[in-house]
Amino acid sequence: MKNKIDDFLINLINQEHIIDTVYYANDVGIPSEVAYQVHFPRLEFVIDGELPMKFALSNDENTIILQTKNTVLFIPNDGWNEPQWEKPVTTLSLLFGKQQLGFSLMQWDGSEFHLLEKCHIPRRGPRTAAFILQALMELTWRPEDQQTAILLIRSLISSSVDLMQHPAETLSRSKTLFETIRSYIEDNYQKELTRDLVAKEFYISPNYLSQLFQKEANMRFNEYLNFIRIERAKYLLKRYDLKVKEVAHRCGFNDSNYFCRLFKEKTDRSPSEYRVQYQSQQ
């Protein structure tokens, strides 16, 4: 890792550079074409200068302009942000993908961008960062709890620095293939996926695909596919006022009745009951 990124993150951990405010982006509203929106969490820092930032607030379709200084912006899965590139500024982005942790150091000189540093390292081994990210996701509903948020951000940075300094061991060929197939499923769950179609996509036999899932995930292919689809359905039921039939379709279920039976089997509640219970807790 290059010194500038490394030094900045270590200074955050050691409190030589103080974070005093954590802001949370959200996925409400319709982002513009120049906004950033991806399916994994991110952290955005300003290293030099200030950067007005437009993003959606929780439970609010309005947006605000954030003057970023001694602050960090946490953008959860599917959240969006839109930097307002005006004055010269240097930014650092941390991207927590399913398999990799990415670092991107960018400079805007007032007229054009300069990519100063960029790298990715595997996210393997203990999933400490995943638990911290989940805790931050929960805090998006309690943005006033700044003390906890700042501690979590520093813990997440500490975990990232540790991963930089102690890279994980290279995976075996079968493990690497499994991780690639798993990412493919998580990116394409809404499509028509079958064991045979996925096996064909990766030029392997259906039986070998089944063996991979039994060995690496201790579950069958269809169990994993349904798990991903049900988790996405939970998100849609909580965040959008969609009909159950449309939720089923968006999650890859052609038969809404089957979707409802499977959802109740996995959650002990029907999709409608799940939505009502979630809304009653807000």
Q: What is the total residue count of the chain?
A: 282
**pLDDT tens-digit readout, 163-211:** 877 766 656 778 888 888 988 898 889 998 999 999 999 999 999 999 9
Domain count, the chain: 2
Please indicate, yes or no, whether residues 207 and 224 belong to a single structural domain of this protein.
yes
CATH number at residue 179: 1.10.10.60
Q: Across the chain, where does the E strand assignment appear? A: 21-24, 36-37, 42-48, 52-56, 63-67, 71-75, 80-83, 89-96, 100-108, 113-122
Instruction: Mark which of 145, 165, 185 sits at the end of a domain.
Output: 165
pLDDT in tens, 72-128: 999 988 888 889 898 899 999 999 887 778 888 899 999 999 988 888 787 765 567
Domain that holds residue 103: 3-165
pLDDT tens-digit map of 7-35: 788 877 776 667 888 998 887 777 777 88
Lowest-pLDDT range, 122-131, 139-148, 220-229, 269-278? 122-131
DSSP-derived pairing of the beta strands 42-48 and 71-75: antiparallel
Q: Are 152 and 239 within one domain?
A: no
Whole-model pTM: value is 0.60
Select from 165, 193, 221 the last residue of a domain.
Answer: 165
Q: What is the mean pLDDT of residues 215-232?
A: 92
